[in-house]
């Protein structure tokens, strides 16, 4: 039997580590980040300085538009005493053909960490492979680990535990579904993903989640039945039906997902004290009705706020002091 790591060992293991996908982290490491996020949140709310990254700089590379990712990382670095540089694709030589490898090696000489929000996950992997400073995945087509760490922080904050919980994700088998499956499996949360036929999660990511679930006892299931997923769930989660880069499929998706709306009829199958999650931005009247996202069970703005605190926990842990 493996001896559990001490908190000090976890802290040491995280320094310099890339944050590309939750699959790279153990249950103990993610739990440490959840607790640290809530500690930093409490300190920020009480006005206690926590300038853990004084003099450090984060390069933020954006190839996709953003509200929450940009503002939360920029504010987070400021609150930690550091500085964030916003770098759009039009402002970098990457936009004019400079290789990802060269970009990584140059920026590594200037900054203490990098965050990138981009398309193919292989771009993040190549950036990390050629960087001497930690790289954070701010979103790719396959993964959204920062969002799901914030979701885990929010679940723990509201429920006080991960044990015995069930999360139902209703909608597109996209990057959110992928990261939720892995995050829930790692923390022992049952996770059911309900997506229309042809829009399921990737098999290789389902396999990763199932492997993690064997260690924690979580139940992982993909289904085409939203009611089966929602049944007796503690958390109902959804996302837009048409993610960035798939706009040309919008009409086809509206038709395919018509039975996957989170509405009053669907949430009746959840527990009475269920929580509603959405990573935002939301399209009221499509993936969720206004009475649900704006109703008493919704925690979407607490969830959005926790992006700030979860990402501060990542930054404070992986950037070398």
* Residues belonging to the active site: 117, 144, 147, 239, 279, 307
C-alpha 5/C-alpha 264 separation (Å) is 44
Tell the burial category of 193 from Cβ atoms under 10 Å away from its Cβ (0-12, 13-18, 19+): buried
- Residue with tokens 């970098």, as numbered in its chain: 92
Could you say which DSSP state residue 48 is in?
A: -
Residues near 45 by Cβ (< 8 Å), separated by ≥ 6? none
C-alpha 112/C-alpha 61 separation (Å) is 14
93: left (phi over 0), alpha (psi -120 to 50) or beta: alpha
CA-nearest of 59, 281, 250, 313 to 176 is 281
CB distance 250 to 287 below 8 Å: no
């Amino acid at each position: 039997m493996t001896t559990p790591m001490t908190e000090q060992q976890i802290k040491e293991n995280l320094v310099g580590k890339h944050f590309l996908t939750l699959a790279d982290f153990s249950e103990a490491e993610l739990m440490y980040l959840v607790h640290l996020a809530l500690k930093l949140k409490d300190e920020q709310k009480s006005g206690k300085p926590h300038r853990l990254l004084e003099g450090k700089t984060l390069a933020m590379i954006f190839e996709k538009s953003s509200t929450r990712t940009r503002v939360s990382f920029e504010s987070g670095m400021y609150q930690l005493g550091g500085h964030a540089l916003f770098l759009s694709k039009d402002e970098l030589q990457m936009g004019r053909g400079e290789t990802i490898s060269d970009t990584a090696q140059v920026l590594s000489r200037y900054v203490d960490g990098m965050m990138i929000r981009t398309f193919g996950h292989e771009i993040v992997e190549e950036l990390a492979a050629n960087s001497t400073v930690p790289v954070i995945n701010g979103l790719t087509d396959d993964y959204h680990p920062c969002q799901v760490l914030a979701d885990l922080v929010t679940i723990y904050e509201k429920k006080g535990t991960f044990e015995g919980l069930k999360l139902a994700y209703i909608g597109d088998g996209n990057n959110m579904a992928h990261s939720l499956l892995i995050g829930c499996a790692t923390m022992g949360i049952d996770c059911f993903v309900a997506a229309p036929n042809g829009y399921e999660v990737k098999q290789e990511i389902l396999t990763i989640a199932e492997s993690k679930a064997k260690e924690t006892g979580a139940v992982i299931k993909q289904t085409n039945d939203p009611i089966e997923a929602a049944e007796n769930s503690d958390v109902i989660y959804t996302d837009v039906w048409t993610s960035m880069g798939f706009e040309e499929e919008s009409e086809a998706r509206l038709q395919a997902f018509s039975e996957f709306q989170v509405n009053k009829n669907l949430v009746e199958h959840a527990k009475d004290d269920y929580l509603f999650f959405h990573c935002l931005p939301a399209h009221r009247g499509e993936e969720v009705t206004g009475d649900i996202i704006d109703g008493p069970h919704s925690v979407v703005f607490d969830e959005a706020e926790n992006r700030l605190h979860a990402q501060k926990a990542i930054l404070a842990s992986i950037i070398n002091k």
